[in-house]
């Protein structure tokens, strides 16, 4: 009977192996999805100066609008995580992309403050579930031991989006207006939705899969999963990395202009560099992690130690950035501060998938994203407040990045100690998780 029960899994795994082209087409479309997702975020920071001038905003007020984006971000990520346990990811991703595009279009006209705030809140609600749902869609095409590499490609979709979009959006803002830049991204979003609904497919490794997730377990109480060492470690590392991400999206352009003395055009090109480093780094370390895992190295080391070590390294770079004045060192420090920590988004989700029963994976990825992205609620507002109370904007930014660097280092170190999926799985079995 045990042999017979494995045959459906074997057939689905064989089908996934026989459709590598389809699997990688889905990955490519999901990468573009993430590119649009982060271009939508980046345009707000790129347009910071004209938005603040047009709407007569202080730094703290602009930071509050940046934080408003995350007001429903986490809640939406958690709720949709449960939805995709039962609803096709093809449909959910299509609806999300449509909501993003629709939300951006009103920005083409004259925008009162309330409309900008409302747009950012709704856009945040639509984008909150993006990364976990995208990964859940990809994981239906790749078994556990082959997930690190496609996950790394999905994670760098954000970097590619920022890298490609930043110079283009900067040019649109300077040549036309920030309104046109928002509208342009809305049109791009509608085009992606049309292509996705025509080409995207659901993978064969569905909820009946038994070869991934918490091996041998059909269900583990959510309270047990959410308090496991690995989940807590991934969340702490993710929160620290997301603090950096939120600052990069909302405040890094202003920091480079006001504290670094760069022109808007030069700033646009500098902002391309961290994503380009991420494009190389995440797939490379994802590949290394996958090879180490295949060679018998524990996932605590091959996934957890690499991810959390990268977070701590970024924090150290940000501390140095906060004290730097020379342009020769500033640019590489910007790259390391905002790119290296992103590796945790390539290796963290496979760790969550490793300890989660398949039927609970979508919800766990959604909850994970919801929790660590709460950093976005705090970081932009706190940085704006620090800048406003500082002796001058340059000094305020330096104090803000020093605080952020210390927080990020602490997050990486704590995650190193906590993450241990093998110990968690052993505990789940001892506590009597439901078996398949």
Q: How far is CA 179 from the centre of its chain?
A: 25
Query: Which fold would CATH assign to domain 2-435?
Result: Growth Hormone; Chain: A; (1.20.1250)
- SS3 of 338-372: the string is HHHHHHHHHHHHHHHHHHCCHHHHHHHHHHHHHHH
Please state the φ and ψ torsions of residue 217, each to the nearest 5 degrees: -115, 135
- For the chain, domain boundaries: 2-435
Structure tokens at 154: 């999905």
Dist CA 406 CA 315 (whole Å): 6
Distances in whole angstroms, Cα of residue 258 to Cα of each of 20, 65, 67, 252, 267: 48, 19, 21, 10, 11
How would you label 310-324 residue by residue, b for 16+ Cβ within 10 Å and e otherwise? bbbbbbbbbbbbbeb
Kindly tell me the burial class for residue 77, based on how many C-beta atoms sit within 10 Å of its own C-beta (0-12, 13-18, 19 or more). buried
User: Helices 178-199 and 20-46 sit at what angle, rounded to 10 degrees?
Assistant: 170
Residues in the chain: 436
| Nearest-angstrom CA–CA distance, 279 and 208 | 33
Q: Which pTM was predicted?
A: 0.72
Alpha-carbon distance 307 to 246, whole Å? 19
The first and second tokens of residue 15, run together, are 């089908």
DSSP state of 105: G
pLDDT in tens, the chain (436 residues): 334 444 554 555 555 455 677 888 888 998 888 888 878 877 888 888 889 888 888 888 888 888 888 788 778 888 887 888 778 888 999 999 999 899 988 888 888 888 888 988 998 888 878 888 888 888 888 876 777 778 778 877 777 777 777 788 889 999 999 999 999 999 999 999 999 999 888 877 654 444 445 456 778 899 999 999 999 999 999 999 999 988 987 888 888 888 788 888 888 788 888 888 888 888 888 889 988 988 889 999 999 999 999 999 999 999 999 988 777 888 999 999 998 998 998 899 889 988 988 778 778 888 888 888 889 888 888 998 898 887 788 888 889 999 999 999 999 999 999 999 999 999 988 886 555 4
Q: Do 353 and 213 contact (CB within 8 A), yes or no?
A: yes
């Amino acid at each position: 009977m045990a042999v017979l029960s494995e045959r459906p899994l074997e057939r689905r795994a064989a089908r996934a192996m026989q459709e590598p082209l389809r699997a990688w087409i889905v990955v490519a479309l999901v990468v573009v999805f993430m590119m649009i997702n982060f271009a939508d975020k980046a345009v707000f920071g790129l347009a910071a100066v004209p938005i603040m001038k047009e709407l007569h905003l202080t730094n703290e007020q602009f930071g509050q609008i940046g934080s408003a984006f995350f007001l429903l971000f986490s809640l939406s990520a958690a709720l949709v995580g449960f939805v995709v346990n039962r609803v096709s990811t093809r449909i959910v991703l299509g609806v999300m992309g449509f909501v993003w595009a629709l939300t951006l279009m009103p920005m083409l006209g004259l925008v009162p403050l309330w409309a900008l705030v409302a747009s950012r809140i709704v856009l945040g609600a639509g984008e909150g579930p993006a990364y976990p749902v995208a990964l859940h869609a990809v994981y239906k095409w790749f078994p556990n031991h082959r997930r690190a590499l496609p996950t790394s490609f999905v994670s760098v979709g954000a970097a590619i989006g920022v890298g490609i979009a930043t110079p283009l959006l900067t040019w649109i803002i300077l040549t036309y207006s920030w309104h046109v830049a928002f509208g342009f991204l809305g049109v791009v979003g509608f085009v992606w939705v049309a292509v996705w609904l025509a080409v995207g497919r659901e993978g064969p490794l569905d909820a009946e899969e038994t070869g991934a997730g918490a091996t041998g377990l059909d269900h583990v109480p959510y309270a047990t999963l959410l308090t496991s060492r690995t989940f807590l470690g991934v969340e702490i590392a993710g929160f620290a990395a997301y603090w950096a991400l939120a600052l990069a999206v909302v405040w890094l352009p202003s920091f480079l202009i006001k504290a670094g003395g760069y022109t808007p055009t030069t700033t646009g090109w500098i902002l391309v560099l961290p994503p380009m480093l991420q494009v190389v780094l995440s797939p490379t370390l994802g590949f290394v992690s996958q090879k180490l895992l295949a060679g018998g190295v524990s996932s605590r080391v091959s996934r957890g130690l690499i991810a959390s070590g990268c977070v701590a390294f970024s924090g150290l770079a940000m501390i140095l950035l906060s004290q730097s004045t020379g342009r020769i060192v500033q640019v590489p420090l910007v790259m390391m501060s905002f790119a290296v920590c992103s590796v945790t988004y390539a290796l963290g989700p496979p760790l969550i998938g490793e300890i989660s029963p398949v039927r609970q994976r979508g919800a766990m990825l959604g909850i994970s994203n919801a929790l660590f992205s709460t950093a976005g609620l705090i970081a932009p507002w706190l940085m704006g407040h620090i800048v406003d109370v500082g002796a001058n904007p340059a000094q305020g930014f330096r104090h803000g990045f020093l605080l952020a660097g210390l927080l990020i280092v602490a997050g990486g170190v704590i995650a190193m100690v906590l993450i241990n999926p093998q110990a968690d799985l052993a505990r789940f079995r001892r506590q009597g998780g439901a078996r398949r």
